[in-house]
Structure 1
Amino acid sequence: MVSTRAHKSEFPPPDATPSKALTRSPRSRSKWQHVPSPIALLWLLVSLPLVIWDTGYVLLRPHSMPGGWAHAPIWKPYELYGKVDYMYGWKAYNERNGFTAAQGALNMVETVGYLGYLWVVWDYGEGEKRAVGGGWGGVACLVGFALCVMTVSKTVLYWLNEYYSGFENIGHNDPMSLIFLWLIPNGAWLVLPSYMGYLLARDILHGLAIASGDASSKPARAAEPIKDE
């Protein structure tokens, strides 16, 4: 009978290095990051105080309107704007038009969401660009994109309300007043949130491409995926 002990030395020792089939390629180890746009951050820092100011005026009516105890000095400029856009003036208030107040209620939800986005970017972002990776980066992108859609949709609805009412609340303005006191200020809430939403959508799609194994797609800005060494 041949002893099996004699054959042990004939077998090569197991290879301690991982099999090539089990080794992840650099592409599969790519890490996705959301890099907030400086323009988007600047827009939020400017627009959020204005939205809070506007919402306060709408929800505190009639106290925030001319003659009310809260009107001056905080909401004094609305004395003029209420004459440009009757939705903010006595006409809509006396007619118990609830559209402006309903929009103001949505503004509160929108503002809280944007503040949450800024908090994630500030608290979890790294480096000068405040890049946010992992789950929190995904949360920031998803929430930010949803809020951008909300902002643009709400603004479009406001414009369509004027169109389908025969410009009942702004049709009395001369062209220059309409352009500089209504179209340009309100148009900012169409252009910049649309741009911000576009960048967030690009980041979301880029992350999904990496998750599906395709890291060849490009993110919204010059933020190439970080690869493990």
Structure 2
Amino acid sequence: MVSTRGHPKAFPEPDLTPSKSSSPSKSSTPSRARKGKWAHAPPTLAIVWLLVSLPLVAWDCGYVLLRPHSMPGGKLQWPLFVPYELYVEMDYVYGWKAYNERNGFTSAQGFLNIIESLMYVYYLYLVFTHGRKATVRRGAKATTGGFLAQRYVDGKTGALATLLVFTAAVMTLSKTILYWANEYFSGFSNIGHNPPQLILLWVVLNGAWLVLPAYITYFTGEEILQGLAGGTAGSDEAKSE
């Protein structure tokens, strides 16, 4: 069974017992093989989050980059962007105030959203087309589960997938922190007019893009460290033999 933690231990170790006709040597007992095979195994929560958030981000990018036509009264507002009619009253970054002031922050973060989303989409492509489902044993039966069963990707593809999602998650997290910091250091000029309950709603709506990317960043960062530490340990052991 593939675990979401300790991936170097997640796969069966090869039988390295030397045959009677040969003696152990540096070439026949590689340290990397003794430690098992590294792999990227994304948690189900991360996959679910990406499948849910990517359509929402695409919708948001459409609104931001199609302004003013997507804004209240615009020719493209109905029906796709009607819900923004309420949100622009709560957050002026998305409303006429920022647009009329030619505030470039809104469009800039929308442009970065496209880059992040493309990285996430390619990551999901690698996971679902090159990944293998982890085998889970339930009683006497072994199963690989359904569509969202935990998968693992190893080799160069696994390394690329890990690097992609780590980079994209760091981008999402840092951009969201910047979005919040912009409000704080401007004296909440875009949301300060709201009553406390609407400010709380703003926090809840935008907080998910802090919590989940932070989780993905931590998880994949730990995997990257495991892979690097495993390679370093293998090199050190090879030198000592």
Q: Quickly name the TM-score band, shorter chain normalised.
A: 0.7 to 0.9
Aligned length: 199
Aligned partner of 1:134 in structure 2 is 155
In the alignment, is residue 101 of structure 1 matched against residue 107 of structure 2? yes
The 5-angstrom pairing of residues 38-117 of structure 1 reads: 38-117=44-123
Q: Tell me which of 207, 216, 223 is aligned to 2:227.
A: 207
Aligned partner of 2:216 in structure 1 is 196
Aligned partner of 1:17 in structure 2 is 21
Task: Provide the C-alpha distance between the structure 1 equivalents of 2:122 and 2:151, rounded to a whole number of angstroms.
Answer: 15
In the alignment, is residue 184 of structure 1 matched against residue 220 of structure 2? no
Q: Tell me which of 146, 155, 169 is aligned to 2:190.
A: 169
Aligned partner of 1:223 in structure 2 is none
Q: Tell me which of 104, 120, 127 is aligned to 2:126.
A: 120
Report the CA distance between 1:27 and its aligned residue.
5.7
Alpha-carbon contact 2:166-2:221 (below 8 Å) kept: yes
The one-letter code sitting in structure 2 at the alignment partner of 1:142 is L
SS in 2 for 1:187: helix
The one-letter code sitting in structure 1 at the alignment partner of 2:221 is A
Alpha-carbon contact 1:28-1:213 (below 8 Å) kept: no
Task: Provide the C-alpha distance between the structure 1 equivalents of 2:41 and 2:87, rounded to a whole number of angstroms.
Answer: 37
Task: Provide the C-alpha distance between the structure 2 equivalents of 1:19 and 1:32, rounded to a whole number of angstroms.
Answer: 27
The one-letter code sitting in structure 1 at the alignment partner of 2:229 is A
Structure 1: gaps of 5 or more residues:
1-14, 215-229
Aligned partner of 2:16 in structure 1 is none
RMSD of aligned Cα (Å)? 1.6
Task: Provide the C-alpha distance between the structure 2 equivalents of 1:120 and 1:78, rounded to a whole number of angstroms.
Answer: 34
Aligned partner of 1:28 in structure 2 is 33
Task: Provide the C-alpha distance between the structure 1 equivalents of 2:164 and 2:191, rounded to a whole number of angstroms.
Answer: 33
Moved over 6 A (4+): none
Deviations 1:19-74 (A, max 9, x none): 21243167634111110110000000011000000010000000000111110110
> Percent identity among equivalent residues?
54
The one-letter code sitting in structure 2 at the alignment partner of 1:137 is G
**Max radius of gyration: which structure?**
1
Stretch moving more, 120-129 or 62-71: 120-129
Alpha-carbon contact 1:162-1:170 (below 8 Å) kept: yes
